[in-house]
Chain A
Amino acid sequence: MKNLFYIVLSLILISCLGVSSIVYANETLNVAIMSAHGMSDSAQYVAEQFNKKYGDKIEVEVTPIGFDVLLDKMLIDFSTGSNLFDVYSVGYHWIGQVGLYLADLEKVKSEYPEIVDPNYDEEDFSKILWDTYTTWQGKQIGLPFVGGTLTLFYRTDLFENPEYKKAFKEEYGYDLKMPQLGDDPLTYQQLYDYAEFFTKGVKWSDAKQYGMALPAAAGDPLLSTFCCFFGDYRRSPEGIKELGKVDPDYGDYFTEDHKVAFDPKISDFGLKALKDYLELGKFSPAPETLDWITTSEPFSSGLSAMMIGWGGYWPSITAPSSKVHGKVGVSLIPMPHLGGWNVAINNDSDKKKWAYIYMQMLTSKDTTKILYKKFTETPTRNSTMMDNELQKDNPDLWVMAPSLERVSTRPKIPVLAKLEHSMGTILSKAWTGELSPEEALQRTADDWNRIVKMAGY
């Protein structure tokens, strides 16, 4: 009797497993998205729409992954062929490291022509954005998902104060004014003057006051922000003449023939840019400690008159709980730097067709507008950026399209992480005073040359 009981129980358990495996027989499209701003929320929202439409065949499961570990996870997944995720959000600067493992979307489209949306409209993306986010070594490896350039945030109450405007005009001889849509962008001299004025030219705060919160922490902040200063020279007519055109795969830090462009042995643009960066840093609290998040803290706390940061930080900086709520405007820095993310397909995925359908949904014209309204994640499409209704409701939106007209970019080469580490360790010694700017720049250039040479470029 006891044995019969065990046999029956075993059969029931096996049946349950069998039923459950039938119930959950639908395939899953696994999507890994960076868990910041509205990115993962956007992906989740579109996943729900996708599942409503295709849920009888396949369901999308979105996994938010932190910025600090996303690249590590991608590299491990790709190099081991584990195929943990079918779709990844990929920072464009990581494309060099993971590009070989991403599916060629032209091949996917030619294999499944029926899934290509005729209304997708690739022309709706600016060329620089399309070239930077989606192409690598002649292949299309992604679709633009989230945009963003380094943007100047400023205190509107300070810049529009009649007293301060008068005092500034008396001291500097021109108007205190932040460029708006259609105006000429700021020069670095103007930015410097504004920062100096609000640091020591006028007393606008009871606490310690700074003209600028400027990121210079080792790593991505230093690499990207220095590119704003260097890119201004690099993309000037003199820069193009001396260093050649900017290769989209190599970015502003390399010459047209892929030498280190800021090397003092090649030109003096690097040193000029570094000195501009260091000079502006005098008006910032401890720039060598400021990363993307901590840069917004002195500004949000009302201690600095301006800050340089990613446009995506607008919602957190201007939240009702922020001390500067209602007092923030945005403008163009003289040479914005391009950030941003694409969505790409793992080449090991056996669900490329569904992956492409999902990615197309996520980045379509209509969806981009909806996602911006819901989650205010920085858009990639011109139709969203230049939408009048959206611009009325979102004071930071107007700056996005103009910032793409003249923008600097990072390299998309496999050794970027080594270059970033090298710059973060050596060039930051110019910030700490351990090395002179000349020495720091030359040593960084020498190390970059060594890294690039060892990698065979």
Chain B
Amino acid sequence: MLGLKRNYSNNNYSKDINIAKIVFIGIPLLSMVLLIIYPTYYFIKMVLSRYDLSFMREPVFIGLTNFINIFSDGFFWSSVFNTFIIVVFAVLIEFVLGLCLALLMRKTFFSGQIIRSLFIIPIMIPPIIIGLDFKLLFDTFGPVNGFLQIFGIDPVNWLGTPFWARTSVIIADVWQWTPFIFIILLAGLQSIPEELNEAAKVDGATGFNLFRFITWPLLIPSATVALAIRAIDAVKIFDVPFLLTQGGPGGATEVLSLYIYKTTFRMGTMGYGAAMALIMLIGLSLLAVLIIKIINLQNRIGWD
């Protein structure tokens, strides 16, 4: 090709167009097949197969047997319950805290930008580091218990009792993800025209009424987005329980993604793990639809 003079006769032009088609359509298409279509096909194949890495190099088709076994698997349901508890409490607390912080920070003041920047640091820390840090913090002889003892409170067995272990996971999650809710709600609050509040004040509205009748209705779209994203993300929680408790004690913090990991990689039963992952995917999709429907998002933001 080097040194050839370009000759845009009709034949050469058509040839160049064909080459361009191959390059600009073919390569992305090939990427799609390699990265999406083939893996999806293989995933569905595994879901319907028995594939035990200890003694199988290829999956063996067993139809829906994996799903039948999953629905009678007590550990699966226990992990779903654990995930539900942790997600509901964590997201609820994150939302309330995030909203309070956003309401406090909505008015710009000197050094407000700096403080807001500091608030979002937890989001930037990898979850694996969060898990390790909180494992040290919540150790029986760790600084949290040391702090409690200053006030005469007996040490808490943070990671050794089901209630406190779940609480520890929730605290770690709230610490990391409250800033996420905060950012979204703050943006939502700052988009509310101040004139509305002023007009309401002129009419005698104060405090909670201002929030209830002016701020909150206009904040709902942002709140919906924050809750939807956070809830879906929280269901996938893995790093913190993996590092903090390994799913213990007594399976109290074994969330669904952790059980899927153990089943797939530790126990080597890939087909079974893939089937649970598919159930999780369907569950998350339904959750997203449910959240949007409940908050009636379509009407509020004019989606068709």
Contact = CB atoms under 8 A, between A and B. Distances in A.
Interface stretch (B7-15, B225-233, B244-252): B244-252
Interface stretch (B115-123, B155-163, B197-205, B287-295): B155-163
Given A75-B268, A289-B249, A424-B248, A301 B2 contact: no
Contact of A79 (B53, B262, B267): B53
A149 B169 CA distance: 33
B299 interface: no
A81 interface: yes
A429 interface: yes
Given A75-B265, A434-B162, A97 B248 contact: no
A6 B55 contact: no
Please classify the interface of chain B as helix (H, G, I), strand (E, B), loop, or mixed, using the class held by over half of its residues. loop
A98 interface: yes
A421 B267 contact: yes
A78 interface: yes
For the complex, would chain A's binding face be called helix, strand, loop or mixed by DSSP majority?
helix
B84 interface: no
A71 to B, nearest CB: 7
Interface string A173-207: 00000000000000000000000000000000000
Given A81-B57, A217-B249, A218-B250, 11 more contacts: A76-B53, A97-B268, A98-B54, A218-B247, A286-B157, A288-B160, A288-B248, A417-B262, A426-B250, A431-B250, A434-B162
Interface in A347-389: none
B266 interface: yes
B245 to A, nearest CB: 8
Given A71-B266, A297-B141, A432-B162, A217 B53 contact: no
16 contacts: A72-B265, A78-B53, A80-B57, A98-B54, A218-B249, A286-B140, A286-B157, A301-B141, A303-B141, A417-B262, A417-B266, A421-B267, A425-B75, A425-B248, A428-B248, A432-B252
Interface string A272-292: 000000000000011111010
A223 to B, nearest CB: 13
B254 interface: yes
Contact of A285 (B56, B78, B140, B262): B140
A286 to B, nearest CB: 4
Interface of A: 3, 6-7, 71-72, 75-76, 78-81, 96-98, 100, 217-219, 285-289, 291, 294, 297-298, 301, 303, 414-415, 417-418, 421, 424-426, 428-429, 431-432, 434
Contact of A421 (B52, B161, B266, B268): B266
Interface of B: 2-3, 52-57, 75, 78, 139-141, 157, 159-162, 246-252, 254, 262, 265-268
A100 B157 contact: no
B248 A218 contact: yes
B140 A289 contact: yes
Contacts of A81: 57
A285 B142 CA distance: 12
